[in-house]
């Protein structure tokens, strides 16, 4: 049954949130030294026989490991099993062209799961508001700016939980939300009302609450776009933004929501196709920057989860290198999930060649695949692929309870 959103529960969550705000060869299993835990606390070393993640990893060929890094868009409304098997894909992202009816989407996600050797990560961009890829079927929740205007983190958590419940009922297990950018530039053409606001403290509180809401629903959350896309007048879909924040300004304005998301246990963080010279003077976008992804996000901020690129078909990441080289450089920088490569064949072939030549080490490849498998383990889908149900989806989607919640947020945000 759909879980109730009770007034007392909302007040309790708000109290908690307020308090928180204040206060070497292929197919070999990785060693204990190169397994990266999805959480800050390190797990004790275990053998492949006792660790399900190591066991799955040990059973993969190099070709299968490379395929796990890729999450393309596949056209059509039915599962393309041939492409999934050809490239050993670990995931697929859904867009409106893939979405028609509830029974069709359930059949699609179940078909995708049936085609994968390992249970698939099926993602989408369901931020709500202006970016709602599955919006035609789901409750129309307000976007982040309206939630931010309420000043109530309990509502942020409740909306994320309800969104996750509806996605999970359709067979989607990864949402590329919430937006953790602080929209400090009113002329920002790409973030705007997708952000919770222009105050780092408020955005941090709302992002942390949303991360916890997605966790409540059993769907993975993704904070985006690191290291912060809030102060730009260039759209990274069409160009390469340069943000001239000093390191001190970045620490004060852009970093807090990502730190809050990590502290809340966020599953994934998406990169931005932006240049911040104070963080990396090379001129490479953050997506391709080892100082930003490995040095800053992993090293300084201590993030242990999945790093996803933003869409690799965007011009912001294609200005300096060819599409195959972009995929290789993203992995070398520290990315685990290569989202929407413009040429699946080039991305797969280039990364595979880089691994076989030693440019990308076996250890580096295993680190990323391990993190992706650990995410499945956390979601409960490592051993067995989930199966969506039309009946369950029809019960959850646009439920009266969720529609009341949406209306409540609208009223509170006025």
Query: CA 6 to CA 340: how far, in whole Å?
Result: 39
Note the pLDDT of residue 226.
Answer: 98
User: Is there a catalytic annotation at residue 88?
Assistant: no
Q: What contacts 392, CB < 8 A, 6 or more positions away?
A: 169
Backbone angles phi, psi at 238, to 5 degrees: -120, -10
User: Which pLDDT does position 30 carry in this prediction?
Assistant: 37
Query: Of residues 149, 199, 235, 237, which has the active-site annotation?
Result: 237
Q: Report how far residue 306's alpha carbon sits from residue 391's, in angstroms, rounded to the nearest whole number.
A: 32
Give the single-character DSSP code of 389: -
Per-residue confidence (pLDDT) for residue 33, from 0 to 100: 34
Distances, alpha carbon 409 to alpha carbons 134, 151, 403, in Å: 20, 10, 10
Q: How far apart are CA 159 and CA 165, in angstroms?
A: 10
What one-character DSSP code corresponds to residue 100? Answer: S
Place of tokens 């070709």: 63
- Rounded-to-10 torsion of CA 117, 119, 120, 121: -150
3-state secondary structure of 55: helix
Distance of CA 193 to CAs 128, 161, 186, 314, 387, Å?
11, 20, 10, 20, 34
Please tell me the predicted confidence (pLDDT) of residue 186. Answer: 87
Q: What helix, strand, coil percent values describe the chain, rounded to 5? A: 50, 10, 45
Kindly report the pTM of this predicted structure. 0.88
H or E element, residue 257: helix 255-263
CATH superfamily assigned to domain 60-407? Glycoside hydrolase, family 3, N-terminal domain (3.20.20.300)
| 112 contact partners, CB below 8 Å, separation of at least 6 | 79, 84, 92, 120, 122, 171
Is the alpha carbon torsion for 289, 295, 299, 300 positive or negative? negative
Q: Identify the active-site residue in 267, 310, 336, 366.
A: 310
149 belongs to the catalytic site: no
Which residue in the block uniquely carries the two structure tokens 């490849």?
365
Q: Which residue has the tokens 């290198």?
A: 321
Residue 166 tokens, joined = 């509806």
How far from 354 is each of 132, 338, 342, 350, 359, CA to CA, in Å?
36, 15, 18, 6, 5
Helix axes 323-333, 344-357, angle to 10 degrees: 50
- For 26, other C-beta atoms within 10 Å of its C-beta total 15
The set of residues, in sequence order, having a beta carbon less than 8 Å from that of 303 and lying 6+ positions away, is 262, 269, 297
Average pLDDT, 10 consecutive residues per value, the chain (414 residues): 40 39 38 37 55 97 98 97 98 98 98 97 97 96 98 98 98 98 91 96 98 98 97 86 95 98 98 97 97 98 98 94 98 98 98 98 98 98 96 98 98 93
Q: Please give the backbone phi and psi of residue 107, each rounded to the nearest 5 degrees, phi first.
A: -65, -40
Residue 47, phi then psi, degrees to nearest 5: -85, 165
The CA distance from 151 to 1, in Å, is 29
- Give the span between the Cα atoms of 101 and 127, in whole angstroms: 20
For 192-213, letters b (16+ CB in 10 Å) and e give bbbbbbbbbebbbbbbbbbbbb
SS3 state of residue 224: strand
334: left (phi over 0), alpha (psi -120 to 50) or beta: left
């Amino acid at each position: 049954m759909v879980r109730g959103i009770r007034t007392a529960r909302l007040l309790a969550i708000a109290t908690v949130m307020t308090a928180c705000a204040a206060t070497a060869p292929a197919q070999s299993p990785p060693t204990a030294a190169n397994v990266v835990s999805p959480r800050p606390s390190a797990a004790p070393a275990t053998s492949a026989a006792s660790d399900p993640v190591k066991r799955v990893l040990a059973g993969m060929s190099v070709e299968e490991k490379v395929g796990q890094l890729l999450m393309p868009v596949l056209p059509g409304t039915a599962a393309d099993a041939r492409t999934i098997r050809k490239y050993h894909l670990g995931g697929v992202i859904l867009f409106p062209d893939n979405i028609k009816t509830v029974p069709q989407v359930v059949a699609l996600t179940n078909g995708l799961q049936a085609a994968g050797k390992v249970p698939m990560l099926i993602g989408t961009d369901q931020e709500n508001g202006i970016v709602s890829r599955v919006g035609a079927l789901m409750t129309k929740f307000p976007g982040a700016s309206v939630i931010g205007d309420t000043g109530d983190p309990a509502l942020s958590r409740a909306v994320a939980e309800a969104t996750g419940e509806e996605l999970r009922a359709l067979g989607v297990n990864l949402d590329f939300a919430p937006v953790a950018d602080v929209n400090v530039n009113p002329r920002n053409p790409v973030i705007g009302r997708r952000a919770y606001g222009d105050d780092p403290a408020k955005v941090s509180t709302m992002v942390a609450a949303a991360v916890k809401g997605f966790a409540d629903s059993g769907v993975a959350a993704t904070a985006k776009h690191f290291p912060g896309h809030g102060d730009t007048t260039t759209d990274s879909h069409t160009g390469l933004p340069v943000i001239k924040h000093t390191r001190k300004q970045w620490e004060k304005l852009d970093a807090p929501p990502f730190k809050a998301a990590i502290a809340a246990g966020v599953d994934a963080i998406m990169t931005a196709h932006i240049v911040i010279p104070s963080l990396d003077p090379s001129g490479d976008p953050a997506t391709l920057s080892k100082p930003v992804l490995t040095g800053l996000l992993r090293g300084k901020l201590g993030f242990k989860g999945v790093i996803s690129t933003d869409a690799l078909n965007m011009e912001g990441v294609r200005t300096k290198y060819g599409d195959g080289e972009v995929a290789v450089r993203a992995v070398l920088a520290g990315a685990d999930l290569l989202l929407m490569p413009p040429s699946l064949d080039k991305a797969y072939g280039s990364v595979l060649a880089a691994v076989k030549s030693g440019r990308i080490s076996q250890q580096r490849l295993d680190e990323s695949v391990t993190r992706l498998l650990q995410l499945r383990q956390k979601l409960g889908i490592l051993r067995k692929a989930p199966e969506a149900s039309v009946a369950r989806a029809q019960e959850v989607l646009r439920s009266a309870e969720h529609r009341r919640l949406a209306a409540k947020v609208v009223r509170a945000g006025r």
